[in-house]
Amino acid sequence: MITTSALQVRFGDTTALHPLDLDLPAGRIYGLLGRNGAGKTTLLSTLAGFRRPSGGTVELAGVPVFDDVRATTRICLIRDDGVPGDPTDTLRDNLAMAAILRPGFDTAYAAELMEKFALPRRKTLRTLSRGQRSAFGIVVGLASRADLTMFDEAHLGLDAPSRQLFHDELLRDYLDRPRTVILSTHLIEEQSPLFEQVLILHEGRLLLRADVDELRARGVSVTGPQQVVDDFVFGLTVLAQRRLGPTKEVTVFGGLDDERRALADRYGLQLGPVALQDLFIHLTGGAV
């Protein structure tokens, strides 16, 4: 369990995180969403003990994370801007160092992942391509098997097959060895199937925390012939609209009562769950 109490981070005049009380029970995958500058990286760095809070505390299972190896060796944060390790060392040496630093590191699993991501063991970290660097970060992040594992936009630069591999491996390994995972991402629709719970940060505050299923039920997608859909959603809060030839899909905010559902059925309209991205844009005040 990771717990924050009145956690606050300021950079000069900028308050990146307003006092935040948060408890994240262990053994779940959390999605951390927020617009640019919302405070996601600041929060994750502080949870990892990389940054001293301006106020308040962060504890992992009761142990303060800042400057305490009892907690930091159980935490792994993979950031978008680089892999933990020495850029002038080979990947092989960097993996050996990770194994020394992290008690839960699984060398055999790291070797398996290196193969799967086709990473060159003899190359130095700094000579890797952008996507290869991300892939190496993911290898370290997964093989560390840390109690608290966080990926901060760690997929940046990865091609689609590698992102799929990341998802598959994360899910497989998590199911074998449940731990707490936080994924910060702007690829909401792509990564949301992994989330059990979503946290939305907005302007340094926690705007929303909800289970994914509950969130998807906060809106409805309505699909059918354009004119019929337009008539049906008249007066409702429209979050997004998409056209595909004569067919239209409209996402509306809020649930539909039984009467409206019966009406949709009579008109032959299809109803489905809301796309998290549409809801996210609506909740964080973006343009539709």
Q: Which residues bind ligand ATP (CB under 6 A)?
A: 11, 14, 16, 34, 36-42
Both tokens of 84, joined, read 């933990």
**Comparison of 18 and 92: residue with beta carbon closer to ligand ATP:** 18
Non-local (6+) Cβ contacts of 257 within 8 A are: none
Q: Quick one: which of 112, 94, 92 has its CA closest to 172?
A: 112
Whole-number minimum distance, CB 72 to ligand ATP, in Å? 20
Whole-number minimum distance, CB 118 to ligand ATP, in Å? 28
**Comparison of 46 and 162: residue with beta carbon closer to ligand ATP:** 46
**Comparison of 27 and 285: residue with beta carbon closer to ligand ATP:** 285
What is the side-by-side strand order in the sheet with 14-24?
A: 14-24, 2-11, 55-60, 63-64
What string of H, E and C letters represents the secondary structure of 176-201?
A: HCCCEEEEECCCHHHHHHHCCEEEEE
Q: Can you list the alpha helix ranges (DSSP code H) found in 102-181?
A: 107-116, 130-143, 160-176
Whole-number minimum distance, CB 51 to ligand ATP, in Å? 9
Whole-number minimum distance, CB 96 to ligand ATP, in Å? 31
**Comparison of 111 and 208: residue with beta carbon closer to ligand ATP:** 208
Both tokens of 163, joined, read 């992102």
Whole-number minimum distance, CB 44 to ligand ATP, in Å? 8
Q: Quick one: which of 58, 29, 27, 26 has its CA closest to 42?
A: 58
**Comparison of 16 and 128: residue with beta carbon closer to ligand ATP:** 16
Whole-number minimum distance, CB 3 to ligand ATP, in Å? 20
**Can you tell me the distance from the alpha carbon of 151 to that of 155, in angstroms, rounded to the nearest whole number?**
8
User: How many other β-carbons are positioned within 10 Å of the β-carbon of residue 280?
Assistant: 25
**Comparison of 79 and 248: residue with beta carbon closer to ligand ATP:** 79
Q: Quick one: which of 161, 150, 83 has its CA closest to 117?
A: 161
